[in-house]
Amino acid sequence: MISFQQVTKKYRQKVALDKVNLKLTEGKIIGLVGENGSGKSTMLKLIAGLTYPTKGEVLINEKTVNRRSASIVSYLSELDEYYRFYNVEKTIAFYASQFSDFDLKKAYDILTFMKLDPESKLKELSKGNRGRLKIVLSLARNAPIILMDEPLSGLDPMVRQSIVKGLLSFVDLEKQLVLITTHEIRDLETILDEVIAIKDGTIIGHHNVEQLREEQNLGIVEWMTTIYE
């Protein structure tokens, strides 16, 4: 469904991604793990059509990604400054007006699960609660591809597990591909179908989590320690 073919992305002289090849199929929750600056956000932006490869191609369903890809890709980079005077409710209404696949009922179901107050102003939300709102907004779209850039950072470690488990109930695992970036793989271990490790713009590992367990008898965290040595 998503394919990277020899994708290199440079920002002036800086190589953010170096000849990345990758194939991702639907119906999976995939973790993209790597240290800060390794190229995770760049990969998501390329899939969302918000930036373009310097060389190579990113394809969705065999078509080159372009700005119109936003209609099938649910992606939120940062909640913009523009909306900081909106409250949660108004922000949800705004997103509902922007995307025809936005499911308002689902948004409020997730909001309730996240224990967010619809009246809160965005500029008053803690980092953790902005993370919760990001999860609400991106999962409320019935889009075939959902990209979440570090949705858990800023959340209290105590609540991460329950939020991660909750995510599952709002994903349509038959139809949707969910790609989540993190630098804390431990939080996602229980829900991932596949894990991809990236380092300095290069994919250094890509595995099916179940196979990893069966064939190499490794959990994701153990696997990570073997490849980052």
Q: Is 100 in the site for ligand ADP (CB under 6 A)?
A: no
Q: Give 177's contacts (C-beta < 8 A, 6+ positions apart).
A: 1, 2, 24, 25, 26, 27, 28, 30, 144, 145, 146
Residues binding Mg ion: number (CB under 5 A): 2
Q: Is 14 in the site for ligand ADP (CB under 6 A)?
A: yes
Q: Is 11 in the site for ligand ADP (CB under 6 A)?
A: yes
Q: Is 85 in the site for ligand ADP (CB under 6 A)?
A: no
Pick the closer one to Mg ion by CB: 40 or 160: 40
How far from 209 is each of 23, 88, 149, CA to CA, in Å? 16, 36, 20
Q: Is 69 in the site for ligand ADP (CB under 6 A)?
A: no
Which of 62, 208, 74 shows the shortest CA–CA distance to 136? 74
Residue 88 C-beta: closest distance to ligand ADP, Å:
26
Q: Is 37 in the site for ligand ADP (CB under 6 A)?
A: yes
42 binds, among Mg ion, ligand ADP, none (CB under 5 to 8 A by kind): ligand ADP
14 binds, among Mg ion, ligand ADP, none (CB under 5 to 8 A by kind): ligand ADP
Map the footprint of Mg ion across residues 31-70, applying CB under 5 A. Answer: 40-41
29-33, strands of its sheet edge to edge:
73-76, 145-149, 177-182, 29-33, 194-199, 202-208
Q: Taking a C-beta distance cutoff of 8 angstroms, is the pair 68, 31 a contact? A: no
Pairing of strands 63-64, 55-60: antiparallel
Contact footprint for ligand ADP (CB under 6 A): 11, 14, 16, 34, 36-42
Contact footprint for Mg ion (CB under 5 A): 40-41
